[in-house]
Structure 1
Amino acid sequence: MIAPAAFPSFQCAYAAVLRHVTENYTHVNTARGNDSHEIIGATFRLIDPRQRALHLTSRPVNPVYHHAEALWYLGGLRNLDLIGHYASRRRADSRDGTTIEGSSYGARIFAPRPDGAPSAFDRALELLRAEKDSKRAYLPVFEAGDLDEIGHPDLPCLVGLQLLARDGYLHMVTYMRANDANRGLVCDVYSFTLIQEFAAALLGLRLGSYTHHVGSMHVGIRDLERAGRVLAETAAGPVAAAPLFPAPVMPADTSWRHIRTVLEHEELLRTNQVRYTRADVAALDLPRYWQRVLLLFEAHRQLVTCPADPVDQQVLEALEPGARWQFERRWPTRVATGVIA
Structure 2
Amino acid sequence: MISLEIRRSNLVFNLAEALWYFSGRGDLEYISYYAPGIRRFVLGSDALTGTAYGPRIFTFGPSRLDQWASVVETLREDPDTKRAVVQIYRPEELTVPGNPDVACTIGLQFLARNDRLNLVTYMRANDAYRGIASDIFSFTFLQELMARELGLEVGRYTHMVGSLHLYEPDVGPARRLVASPHDQGATRDRMPDMPSGDQRPYVKRVMQIEEGLREDAVRLGVSEIMTLDLPEYWRQVVAVFELYRRCKHHTCADDDGLLGELYPLYRHLMVNRFPKLSSDPQAKAAVS
TM-score under structure 1 length normalisation: 0.78
Choose the corresponding residue for 1:94, options 36, 42, 53. Answer: 42
Aligned residues: 280
Contact in 1 for aligned 2:221/2:256 (Cα 8 Å): no
Choose the corresponding residue for 1:304, options 220, 226, 248. Answer: 248
Which residue of the partner structure matches residue 141 of structure 1?
88
- Structure 1 stretches of 5 or more lacking a match? 1-52
Which residue of the partner structure matches residue 256 of structure 1?
200
Which residue of the partner structure matches residue 327 of structure 1?
270
Q: Residue type matched to 1:79 in 2?
A: D
TM-aligned CA deviation for residue 310 of structure 1: 4.0
Which residue of the partner structure matches residue 36 of structure 1?
none
Partners of 1:243 and 1:310 lie apart in 2 by 24
Note if 1:80 corresponds to 2:28: yes
Partners of 2:192 and 2:69 lie apart in 1 by 25
Partners of 2:165 and 2:134 lie apart in 1 by 15
Which residue of the partner structure matches residue 127 of structure 2?
180
Note if 1:292 corresponds to 2:236: yes
TM-aligned CA deviation for residue 322 of structure 1: 1.1
Query: What's the secondary structure of 2:106's corresponding residue?
Result: strand
TM-aligned CA deviation for residue 252 of structure 1: 1.5
Note if 1:56 corresponds to 2:4: yes
Query: What's the secondary structure of 1:244's corresponding residue?
Result: coil
Partners of 1:207 and 1:334 lie apart in 2 by 33
TM-aligned CA deviation for residue 89 of structure 1: 0.7
Contact in 2 for aligned 1:281/1:294 (Cα 8 Å): yes
Choose the corresponding residue for 1:318, options 257, 261, 275. Answer: 261
Which residue of the partner structure matches residue 10 of structure 1?
none
Q: Residue type matched to 2:255 in 1?
A: D
Partners of 1:310 and 1:61 lie apart in 2 by 20
TM-aligned CA deviation for residue 225 of structure 1: 1.5
Contact in 1 for aligned 2:253/2:276 (Cα 8 Å): no
Contact in 2 for aligned 1:111/1:119 (Cα 8 Å): yes
Partners of 2:194 and 2:178 lie apart in 1 by 31
Query: What's the secondary structure of 1:212's corresponding residue?
Result: strand
Note if 1:208 corresponds to 2:151: no
Quote the sequence identity (%): 37
Q: Residue type matched to 1:147 in 2?
A: L
- Structure 2 stretches of 5 or more lacking a match? 282-288
Q: Which has the higher contact order (CA 8 A, sep 6+)?
A: 1
TM-aligned CA deviation for residue 101 of structure 1: 0.9
Note if 1:233 corresponds to 2:180: yes
Choose the corresponding residue for 1:167, options 93, 111, 114. Answer: 114
TM-score under structure 2 length normalisation: 0.92
TM-aligned CA deviation for residue 149 of structure 1: 2.6
Choose the corresponding residue for 2:70, options 119, 123, 131. Answer: 123
